[in-house]
Chains A and B, each alone.
Chain A
Amino acid sequence: GNSVTQMEGPVTLSEEAFLTINCTYTATGYPSLFWYVQYPGEGLQLLLKATKADDKGSNKGFEATYRKETTSFHLEKGSVQVSDSAVYFCALSRAGGTSYGKLTFGQGTILTVHP
Chain B
Amino acid sequence: DSGVTQTPKHLITATGQRVTLRCSPRSGDLSVYWYQQSLDQGLQFLIQYYNGEERAKGNILERFSAQQFPDLHSELNLSSLELGDSALYFCASSPNTRANRGSGANVLTFGAGSRLTVL
Residues of A participating in the B interface, judged by any CB pair closer than 8 Å: 32, 34, 36, 42-46, 49-52, 89, 93, 95-96, 98-108
CA of A105 to CA of B103, assembled, Å: 19
Residues of A near B2 (CB, < 8 A) are 43, 45
- Closest CB of chain B to A44's CB: distance in Å? 4
A3 CB to closest chain B CB (Å) equals 12
- Tally chain B residues at the interface, Cβ within 8 Å: 28
Segment of B12-20, B61-69, B71-79, B104-112 engaged in the interface with chain A = B104-112
Q: Which residues does chain A contribute within 8 Å of B42, judged by CB atoms?
A: 105-108
Could you tell me if B43 and A108 are in contact, using CB atoms closer than 8 angstroms?
yes
Greatest chain B CB density within 10 A among A49, A102, A106 is at A102
**Distance A105 CA – B101 CA, assembled complex (angstroms):** 20
Given contacts A105-B42, A105-B43, whether A43 and B103 have CB atoms under 8 Å apart is no
B112 touches A101 (CB 8 A): no
Mark interface residues in B1-40 (1 if CB within 8 Å of A CB, else 0): 0101000000000000000000000000001010000000
Whether the Cβ atoms of B43 and A96 lie closer than 8 Å is: no
- In-complex Cβ contact of B45 among A43, A46, A98, A104 (8 A): A104
For A32, the closest partner residue in chain B by CB is: B104
Q: Which residues from 87 to 119 on chain B have a C-beta closer than 8 Å to any C-beta of chain A? A: 90, 92, 94, 96, 101-113
Known contacts A96-B101, A108-B43; is A101 also within 8 Å of B96 by CB?
yes
